[in-house]
Chains A and B, each alone.
Chain A
């Protein structure tokens, strides 16, 4: 009887382990976009997890304007608006290229899209390419491969430019 109970318990624990793992990986930072009628884009990054994360700042709002990390499309024509900022060729990723996101931290950055996009009056869809994050235990001094990253997508937002 006791043996049976023990075996059952063990079985239950084994069943629970993968579930617990899945829950852990589901907890990751989240982000949000909001744009106003002047073409100011607010990017909010929230780390509501219990762990530190590292954000690769390449091709994120922290890299303005040395890469094209935003796509803006005119809603009616679906026409992509030309990016007029710079594109940089980079050396290998190093520790300085990461932004540390402490547990329960909140980061906000505002960009003036009119600096690098010619925006006339109208409705636009604004989206961001996926953020690349590394969990707390990653070794930032080692070069990271695409496979090492955990990707986080920001939901796209709408923008109504009024002149």
Chain B
């Protein structure tokens, strides 16, 4: 989520820069590379903290983005209205020495932070952001220094604000507050698609592109099953030898998948950080948890975003109740050869039939 940047890499228009400094202490500066965003773009901001003291200062890591954003570090407003922080709040022990980073006199450190997953940015508005943290424990594990800073009135780090325009996804339900009760941000699109688990703008747009592809794949699969002859190579490759009852089961599965994708209230969650593509609880339709391999998958084709959504939807017990009998294309092909009854129960077999890559008739 955030990483230390080489400052020389960040060359930016000065009009987009804001600078805030305390008499003595740590100055915070925000930099953004653009001043207008659409709903598919992530909102990246570079935070630079500079020690303006003549002596080294230690800063509590939790209030920097050194290890990702673990606290509300920004004040964000949309057309003047404050936006709630959606990210993590960690419950912690009292800080110890290792929780502080040391900045030498004059030293700077920079972090990149993506904001659309941390603050509700679904509304089209002019946004204003500033770095704004304060804590009695912010500066030093040394009580003497903390007292001294408190006496000087230095209790936090604040930057000047930076502003930008964002064309939001405009979730329904008024005032872009998100679906009630989810508590972790997101919202519901006019098509009834909900997001939870802090999906960033680009993640939401990836999911919607994958969903559109999945709907096309499901329609194409149904079309094939309704019109193809029993000698279909596409069918036999993924589901084995023709048998009318198995063909009917597969047809029923795909018509249920297609109607689930088009008619049911789907929820996509972005909180999973595992190396999976995605996962679901088959007993809990229609929520799909997207994981890290999903974001780098192509939209269509083998193991694509569209295919992953087909795969996951097929797992729901109210849809097709498929299992993961085998994983992967070669496994699914040999399952079709050796055990067609299991193949028609296998989620990847449905996915590969729907993706139809390579293209078979």
What residues of A have a CB within 8 angstroms of the CB of B330 in the complex? Answer: 145-146
Cα separation A59 to B276 with both chains bound (whole Å): 14
Q: Given contacts A66-B276, A82-B317, is CB(A87)–CB(B283) below 8 Å?
A: no
B331 at the A interface (CB under 8 A):
yes
What residues of A have a CB within 8 angstroms of the CB of B331 in the complex? Answer: 145-146
B51 at the A interface (CB under 8 A):
no
> Nearest CB to that of A129 among chain B residues?
B325
In the complex the two chains form, is B323's CB within 8 Å of A68's CB? yes
A85 at the B interface (CB under 8 A):
yes
Q: Which of B291, B303, B317 contacts A88 (CB 8 A)?
A: B291
B293 at the A interface (CB under 8 A):
yes
In the complex the two chains form, is B312's CB within 8 Å of A90's CB? no
B-contacting residues, A95-122, CB 8 Å: 96
Q: Given contacts A68-B323, A146-B331, A146-B334, is CB(A90)–CB(B281) below 8 Å?
A: no
A15 at the B interface (CB under 8 A):
no
Q: Main secondary structure on chain A at its contact with chain B?
A: loop
In the complex the two chains form, is B347's CB within 8 Å of A87's CB? yes
What residues of A have a CB within 8 angstroms of the CB of B163 in the complex? Answer: none
> Nearest CB to that of B335 among chain A residues?
A146
Q: Which of A59, A86, A145 contacts B279 (CB 8 A)?
A: A86
In the complex the two chains form, is B275's CB within 8 Å of A146's CB? no
What residues of B have a CB within 8 angstroms of the CB of A84 in the complex? Answer: 281-283
A83 at the B interface (CB under 8 A):
yes
The interface size of chain B toward A, counting residues with CB under 8 Å, comes to 29
A-contacting residues, B75-105, CB 8 Å: none
What residues of A have a CB within 8 angstroms of the CB of B323 in the complex? Answer: 68, 87
Q: Which of B275, B279, B293, B308 contacts A87 (CB 8 A)?
A: B279
What residues of B have a CB within 8 angstroms of the CB of A146 in the complex? Answer: 326, 330-331, 334
In the complex the two chains form, is A91's CB within 8 Å of B293's CB? yes
A89 at the B interface (CB under 8 A):
yes
What residues of B have a CB within 8 angstroms of the CB of A145 in the complex? Answer: 330-331
Smallest CB–CB gap between B273 and chain A, Å?
A: 13
Q: Given contacts A87-B323, A89-B308, is CB(A82)–CB(B315) below 8 Å?
A: no
In the complex the two chains form, is B326's CB within 8 Å of A66's CB? no
Interface flags for A148-160 (1: CB within 8 Å of B; 0: not) read 0000000000000
What residues of A have a CB within 8 angstroms of the CB of B166 in the complex? Answer: none
Give the one of A86, A87, A96 with max B CB within 10 A. Answer: A87
A-contacting residues, B280-323, CB 8 Å: 280-283, 289, 291, 293, 303, 308, 311-312, 315, 317, 323
Cα separation A114 to B113 with both chains bound (whole Å): 40
Cα separation A86 to B280 with both chains bound (whole Å): 5
Q: Main secondary structure on chain B at its contact with chain A?
A: mixed
Cα separation A68 to B323 with both chains bound (whole Å): 8
B191 at the A interface (CB under 8 A):
no
Cα separation A85 to B324 with both chains bound (whole Å): 13
B278 at the A interface (CB under 8 A):
yes
Q: Given contacts A66-B279, A82-B283, is CB(A87)–CB(B315) below 8 Å?
A: yes
In the complex the two chains form, is A89's CB within 8 Å of B279's CB? yes
In the complex the two chains form, is B281's CB within 8 Å of A88's CB? no
What residues of A have a CB within 8 angstroms of the CB of B328 in the complex? Answer: 92
Interface flags for B186-228 (1: CB within 8 Å of A; 0: not) read 0000000000000000000000000000000000000000000
What residues of B have a CB within 8 angstroms of the CB of A67 in the complex? Answer: 324
Q: Which of A83, A85, A91 contacts B277 (CB 8 A)?
A: A91
Cα separation A109 to B334 with both chains bound (whole Å): 32
In the complex the two chains form, is A89's CB within 8 Å of B274's CB? no
Cα separation A8 to B327 with both chains bound (whole Å): 50
Cα separation A68 to B347 with both chains bound (whole Å): 13
Q: Given contacts A68-B324, A145-B330, is CB(A89)–CB(B281) below 8 Å?
A: no
Interface flags for B334-361 (1: CB within 8 Å of A; 0: not) read 1000000000000110000000000000
Closest 5 CB pairs of A and B: A88-B279, A91-B293, A89-B277, A88-B276, A86-B279
11 contacts between A and B (CB under 8 A): A66-B276, A68-B323, A82-B283, A84-B283, A87-B324, A88-B277, A89-B308, A89-B311, A90-B275, A91-B303, A146-B330
Task: Give B contacts to A, CB under 8 Å.
Answer: 274-283, 289, 291, 293, 303, 308, 311-312, 315, 317, 323-324, 326-328, 330-331, 334, 347-348
Q: List 10 extra interface pairs beyond A66-B279, A88-B278, A90-B275, CB under 8 A.
A: A58-B327, A66-B276, A82-B283, A87-B280, A88-B279, A89-B277, A89-B278, A89-B311, A89-B327, A91-B293
